Structure 1
Amino acid sequence: MLTMTTSDLFNSPPERVGLPEREIISVSQLNRRAKQLLETHLPLLWVEGELSNVSVPSSGHWYFTLKDSDAQVRCAMFRNRNMMVKFRPQQGQHVLVRARVSLYEGRGDYQIIAEHMEEAGAGALQRAFDELKTKLAHEGLFDPQYKKNVPLLPKHIAVITSPTGAAIRDIINVLERRFPSIPVTVIPVAVQGKEAAPQIVKAISLANRAGLFDVVILGRGGGSLEDLWPFNEEIVARAIFASDLPIVSAVGHEVDFTIADFVADLRAPTPSAAAELITPDGEDWLDKFIGFEVLLEEAMQRSLNHWQQKLQWLRSRLRHPKDKLEQQAQRCDTLEIRLKNAIQKALTHSQNRLNTLVLRQKAQHPQTRLLQLTHRFQLARQNLIKAQSQIFIQKRQGFNEAVRMLNTLSPLKTLERGYSLTTLAESQTPITSSQQLKPGDKVKTQIAKGEFVAVVESINQ
């Protein structure tokens, strides 16, 4: 039992008078509880919107706002997650985000944390289209050197398309109008949706394995980029490139382009145009056949006239066998005479050649050759002796002339004419000037017969 006095009533806090005790929490605790509540009760969500206020600080995290026409929400995508995104977020870009709802405790701001991001709508498809186009072009799948020729007159056409679409009706109508005798086989496939691409790949493989067709039309009617997307799949492009049969791509309208158009051996703007491109005009061919028929008749008539003329000419040349035999007998006699003459001429020529060889052999007999060489030796010996005698006389004359000239130039001859050679007695230096001497020097003088030594008494300069 609770008892209270009047003083206790007036001195007690007012909130405790008959009321439960209050729980007071801080702002941080409030934000933390709100964050836990949001993250616990809201699972991962897919959110679509437009990017704005995109910020990429040095930490590598992405911060942006995701908005639509009526609202916006702050978003964050941490580095470990945005590294797996294949594009860079841009202002105004339309994206699809898988995120969890959270709250930033520091500001109390409600936000979402993105785990995955991809481009939404046609933008993503167009980017994927461009990337695959660039990749396949780099690998050479669009190279004209790999394009196969479409036959001028197909024997059997395979059409890979939807059996209920407008494209197959257009193709069949054109084929029936232009060349109805060409057989056509429809290989039904889905041309839209996820199951379309694998079915198209199987159909191309089936057409190649069948061994019936020589050209394939792959097509469908027009549509959006998403509708035509199976024809932009990489598996379809590689199946077209690997096909042994030429493939004509006829997807969409004239303004529509798909990866299949670039890989295919021939691109038609529409399914109807594909049927026209691969088939000739039957009426034109019929006109050509009529023209060929006329030309053939004229050629046959000319040939028949030619052979008739040749027959008449051969008939005019035809002679009785007896005449032919007589002519051949005369020819044999003529040939016999020519043969005898040729044999006699050959014998005469051989006899003359034999006589010439006998004469040449006699000339080359060893005894005859020995006599010739002996005569040449005697003649050479006489010429050698004569040449030696002439050379000896010439050399003796030259020797005598040299001796005469040597005697003429000899210093001894000069001394015999009264001249002398004077030198210093000690150094044997020839004296050519009086300046080399001084009184009292001994000089040696050589004369023609002997020599003497003298002393210089005086010098006259």
Structure 2
Amino acid sequence: MPAVPPSPPARDVLTPSSLNRRVRDLLEMHLPSVLIEGEISNLARPASGHIYFTLKDANAQVRCAMFRPKSTWLKFRPENGMQVLARARVGLYEPRGEYQLIVDHLEESGEGALRREFDRLKAQLQAEGLFDPANKRALPALPRCIGVITSATGAAIRDVLSVLSRRFPLAEVDVLPVPVQGREAPPAIVAMLERASGAGYHDVLLLTRGGGSLEDLWAFNDESVARAVRASAIPVVCAVGHEVDFSIAEFAADLRAATPSAAAELLVPEQGELGRRLQLAQRGMVTRLERTLHTQGQRLDHLRARLQTLRPQARLAHGRERLSALQQRLVRHQQQDLAARKTRLENDRARLQARHPQATLRQARGTLAQLQHRLSQAIGHDLKRRRETLQYDARALHAVSPLATLERGYAMVLDANGKLVRSAASVAPGASLDIRMADGTLPVKRI
């Protein structure tokens, strides 16, 4: 009689749901949190308040979901094509068997990171008092020598020199060339500020460059540059970029100008305006001299009048006038006191009527009616909120109910005790089974 081969060992038969749960557990165990940077695409904002999108680079993409309330805490509005940095947990969307990222935090990358560093450094230096207005120094009214720290070949120096030569050609302009962009710019600017400050040759320094992107202007947001500006022994005017551009160095400077040309106009007076100011000063001196002569003449007339009043007849007439004035003041004071007493009496009578029990009762009835109305509104709002919560919970419960799974064509196998059969090996031949489907149960036996 041939030998019966041994049966293979029993193995667990997995369903797609149980397999997905195992995969999900493995992902969450080995990749609890990741940082990922990429470009947003396929962005969707359903009415639920969640945000669904895809993060991609040149070679791959991954689905992402950001649920409420974290999606409502974003400080910017995500858009397709935006480069972002996300902190997320790796998860598995079981209905489709696809892995996805559950985003907990989302922020802009690239220029957004530079903007955050700008805000951080600005807050730090402001807390140290580096931008304190009390430390700002006044600029010289007529500077004899101006040091301009900028690129020798940029458009900014041409604008500055043109404005200075037109407004005040008497001022000497010393161009102190430095790079204004790139990694070598901050140390070069710091060294030039320290050298000019130590030399003491200039009356004022102008630190400037033309416009550009945030990355182009970043040398002027360097901490060492801001501290060198503040430590300069010579007043510093700073004008970086266009009117809408702001840099850390400008906050630290004694004066900030919107553009290089505007800075040049602030440094020196206009020669025609200076001539007009000299003419005004001359006319002012003549006017003050005439006013002084007029005042001294009035003083002489006053002394002459005082001499006349010292005569006995004049003093007696003055005494009579003073007595008459005091009598009139006494009458007015009595009338005012009587009117004040009448007013106080009317006020006391009104206050007494306001505190009458009937008035208090009317006020209490009005307050009671308002409170009853507010209570009715609060009860209505609470019932509406509870009804919406109940409806939401019912929908959520139905979404995870096994009955919903049965309605999609699946079935459950139950043994004679009504327990779920998870393995064929656990059912003996001839055992009675029930196959439960969405619309009923079929009794069967294992052969």
Q: Could you say whether these structures have the same fold, taking a TM-score greater than 0.5 normalized by the shorter chain as the test? A: no
TM-score, L = length of structure 1 = 0.43
Higher Cα radius of gyration? 1
TM-score, L = length of structure 2 = 0.44
